[in-house]
Structure 1
Amino acid sequence: MRSLITPALLFTLVAARPAFADVFTTDAAPTPIPPVGTASLALDMQAAFDVADVNVIAMLDHERLSDLRLSLRSSDGSSVLLADRDASGMELRFTTFDDEAAASLASGSPPFAASFRPIGDLGAFDGKPAAGTWTLVVDDLAPGNAGSIVSYSLAFNGRTYVSPDLDLPILDFEATQAFVQVDEDFEVLDVELGFDVTHSFTSDVSFFLSGPQVIAPKLLQGQGFFSTGYSSVTLDDEAPATVGTLEGPGRFTTDSGTALGTFDGMGTQGTWRLSVYDGQLEDVGQLRAWWLHLTSQESGSPLDPCAVVSLQSPLFAPFGSVALSGDRAVVGNSLGGVPGLFTGSVHVYGPLVGQWSELAELYPVTANSNDGIGTSADVDGSIVLAGAPGRDSGAIDGGAAFVFEQVRGSWIEAAELVPSVAQPGLHFGAAVALDGGVAVLGRETYFAGPTVAVVFERVAGQWIETAVLATSDVAAPPGFGYSVAVDGDTILVGARGDLGTEGAVYVFERGPTGWQEAAKLVPSGAIGVSTFGYAVDLDGSVAVVGASSDDALTGQTNGAAYVFERQQPSGAWMQTALLYPTASTPFAYFGRDVAVHGDRIAVGALNQKRAYVFDRSATGWSLAQIVTHPTSSGTVQWESIDVGPDRLLTGGGAASANGTLFGLPSSQDLYACQDAVSASAGGQQALHLGGGVGLAGDLYLVAGSASGTAPGLDLGGVQVPLNLDSYLLASLSLANQGPFGQTAGLLDDLGRATATITLPPSSPPALAGLELNHAWVGLDPLSGSLLLVSVPVPLAIVP
């Protein structure tokens, strides 16, 4: 049974899903493709993560590719069409099917060593478990020609780049070099690569990889002798075995098992180079092709939806600012650091050997008492921005912010940002926001002075002030600069108002002449002095604004959050949703902090000691989950929050902890946070179903088995991972009755449902030791056709 693990003194470790390997490659011999027949090559995945994205990298020989149809089938039986007789020539060489590719296979040329858009949508696998058997299926639809599936790889949750350099000669005492150009700029979480090399004496050759910022140690020293080379080899530091004398295909680790980790935390933009060096005479070969797979820090390692991770260090302040970026969690601590009281610091957390740990405590070497470093904080990949509103660099309590960057695995102080308009008591850095090379500093607005926010940008490696943002609105409410957010070329600046004055939020956009005011956001439906603009966040075309004193729900200062979305093609911002807490609590302060990531919004309710998570569907924003801490007490308050695709980070999550990381469910499949119940005491397992918005309104049916999941049931060629037994028949005949609560019905507008399996107290002791498994299927309500089969979830019965 999963539960909160008590924090250790210096930092907390909690079991989460293990870090995942991104690329898996078949290791079987080539599979023949018969004329007018079907060939299939299976890839068995032992992986504890869900699919966020998948690319297919195929190696295939055939006398006439235009005869072939290719598709990928997942373990649940669902299939996506990759290509259908639209390739000419006789070879697919590291041909990569990627939903994000711009070109179709038909527009390419042999041997198609590039990325192409599949005919079907590989996004159909998103949210499903990666574990299980995946199969590449090739149908030959014409007589007279044959070939083989050489190998294929599945590249999960990252970006794949195929080198255009093909068939380069490997000559004696020379380094053969092939290149990949990466235009995207993000921080590396993990690197894998694959290559296909012919050589008559592989012990002559060694392999090296260099990136835009670093050259890795030697990846591989050939150990074979008379040979044909390395066929479709994938190198991954997390692979279980080295290449040795094997020649592929397959997935192997580097010789050291750590060489590719050299790139972790590095930037990606620029040229990547694979070098193959032949150190002996006589034998030669070719570098036929290679590819590179990069996972960004933003992607992050999947977090168990039931995880509750306490992030703690000594002397934490009761309320800390928090921020998320992929696998980076940052918690501010305005009481920490050295040398004196209120110096402050920020703590960086991330997964380490499968557990979340404190990775660094950051504060400047010139830190002083009362700097208040960490009062506000933000993080983007390997850059941390920490507000220091008590800093005296520009003026007494004028405020500043510090930039810390991770370089070659170590954190360094990169810059102190001091606004040119700093004046005594303005406290710049009370609010900060960061996106890539743009940092925005807001200010404490209780004191007189210029009502501005200040923008710094990284130019040629240096952080410089580039704009002082002020509104031209003569009717602007007080408090401009109290909250800030930035994403790309857009900045939000909140003006929270004061007693008797409604707030507003101002939008600034970056153009050829710099940052210009573009829009004013005001609430529709607000009642009372709502402190609209107390908190803001921005992701793409979605802005969310907290109004923690809004009275619209009951007139009791419950608070609210307003959602604005940028309309296309006009670019105008329109209010699209007004979010409230589900329960009325006087002075709940719902909206004290807000966060948005993609189709997910989180809103903190300070005095309700909880956060509300809303997900977007075709019909708008709907409440998806209410998150509370399992050890909440009267002293717990949730001052700061941030949200990611599968996680929520809160500040002040427990009386003894300053940050708490909660797992959030993905949109698809099945999970349960309780995996055991007691026969004597009784108990209940809640099964959380998710089919995604594509199954909204469709039927669901939960069934169980007491005799295991294999071989399972065959429903028209689709395997349901439950064995037929009397318990399965009972779960179907008693759906929505007795122990089977809400096990049949319609999925909601987000494609979700919750079912329960209940064991009453004083159940027969003989049940102890039994393991039940439950799974669900999605059905079309009109035709009854099968739409989805979930993974099974176990339930152990203990004494």
Structure 2
Amino acid sequence: MVNERKGNSDKKNNNRLIGGISCLVNQFIAWMLIHYMKLKQLERVLFIVTQSFFRKSLSSLLLGSLALFNFSPLWAQAPDEVVKLTIDAGAFPKSFLGWSVDVDGNTAVVGAPRQVNENGYRAGAAYVYTRSGELWSLEQRLVSPDSSAVNDRFGYRVSVSGDTLLVSARFDDDKGSNSGAAYVYTRSDDAWSYKQKLNASDGATNDQFGVSIQITSDWAFIGTPNDSYDIGGDPTEEVGVGSVYVFQLSGGTWSEVSKLQAGDAHEGQYFGADISVSGDTAVIGARKDNEVAEGAGAGYVFTHSGNSWTQQAKLTASDGMATDFLGKSVSISGDTIILGAPNGCVPNSPFSSCQSIDLYAGNKAYVFVRDGGSWTEQAKLTSSTGDVGDFFGMSTIFDDTVIIGADGDDDSGLDAGAAYLFTRTDGVWTESAKFYASDGQDNEWFGAQVAMDGDSVLIAAPIAFQPDSRPGSAYVFDLGSGETPVGNDIVVEPVTVDSDGEPVEDAPNINLGFEKVLDGGETTIVAHDAPPPGQELPDGFKLTGLSGGATYFDIHTEAEFTGLVEICIDYSGLAIAGNPSKLKFLHYDTALGAWENITSSNDTEVMILCGLTDSFSLFGIAEIDDPVELLSDLLVAVSEVNANNGIINALDKKLQAVEQALQDASFENDFAALSVLLNAFINSVEAQRDKKVSGEEADMLIEKAQEIAMVL
């Protein structure tokens, strides 16, 4: 990531470093040419090398070598986002808007810690946006209330809860150079006011109090991973052990009440790298923890009782590796925690020691769940299209949905970035979509920070481009909008609404799996208690529904797609009177003007019914009548046809063959064979239409035969 030290660097040392690195890079390129000669692999490994030295800071050194190759990254079309949040690039260039983000309800906050403004060079700022209806707009711009804030980086981290906002300035100097601070704001009548400045009671030089923060209605957690203290019983302080300070609100004032530290603290652990709180549980990242391997990382869980917070568990990855940096990103929702490990070590590299250089190849995140007081690893999440150096792992969770940023993804340009959507069903996590900035370009780092609350997702691109400047930006996505993104094997879960457009509270979960989406667009499902005239369900079926009534579902999409779409519905909440194994997925084909059975699978254990279609209109979940009973009705209808006995006997004989097939075990589930027999009956009726059988009677017999075919 970016080097966050203040002050000027030593040019002589820099030149010496660059000279040595240049030599190393040239040797490395030669080594790759001799041993691999694979252009894409060379591109990615060169990319990793530049990442390892302050992320692309050596790009100028590589220009001569890279000119030998033609790198043409695959550009992927991005889905439409709700809005892109920006600032005046002319007034505030290189602000790094999006270095931190948070969202709560209709309020989004975006930090711009490198902004040069009225408070001085890189004093920083924070921007508050609010939503009215579907429109997001700037509510207020905040800068440090301190008279002198040069290089403080106000806005380094932001956290919002209702009408309370916490903003950190990790390089504030109140307790010594770069000791750090955080500021509390409250909102009243749509205006934010500064209330209190928070410092560590034992703050010291280079603590960087405010590297991570989290605020709730009554608690504020502030991470200080650079905090140094004695853990060995001798007078010497261990460096970079890390702490988290807890403040509590009482009587309108925030007071420090606790200082949290790891139960197995060690030097360089970086405890407090990230913080997330849900109810009475907090998770704290220690991205350089060494228990599994050097720098493998860990997460620590603390729970609240009374006025104290105590450690409940330590979480590590089952397959952790050196420099994974697990815990660089942490997020909790209820009894589920996700720990991001965006970094990592590349094995079999030409360097003498994999651990000696951070090559950023982790690209993973781990989900842990709590049962009682015990936490277990539930899943390891990786991207389906990821590559070395994507930095996949910056994560946020809300209920059963996870967003994971990958700010080094190259689909839309080198380091343009991307983000992935994962959803959980019955304990199984599935990658559902991949998001891009609609105007993504090289080196924008879309996905560097992510935040989510309900259906609102905020994805940062802290060095996003505007003409002649890179002020940064943040993008808002609405998962509840039913937006269907471009791509292959796209799965979405649209909102189900009633005829007035209001969400249906007890609607079943309905997932749509698109084979290929060419152009993104909104997808919605409308629930009706009655079909349009002429589209009534045929005899032999009883439609299931919500609250005991029949429900028709109508799918609408603005997306352009090709191939089949698999529609799967969780019918556990539907009113089913009979045997679930007899449920069928029915779809009204507007081209044919008839209902068709599109059932592809029915898992009665998890109660998921799926169907395949290539077009959208009405569909429903129906319970079927017994085909034997329907066949008996058809036999009676044949006997009552106004025709001679020879015709009636011939038609009756064909139906007896169908009846025998239904009763014959060898024909069980052999729908194709039964369809042949039914078609033979239908063809015989057609042959006698307007001859020995009237047109009206022929229509009646064929309709009843088709009903049996649908049931099968």
| TM-score when normalising by structure 2 | 0.44
Higher relative helix content: 2
| TM-score when normalising by structure 1 | 0.39
Higher relative strand content: 1
User: Which entry has the higher C-alpha Rg, 1 or 2?
Assistant: 2
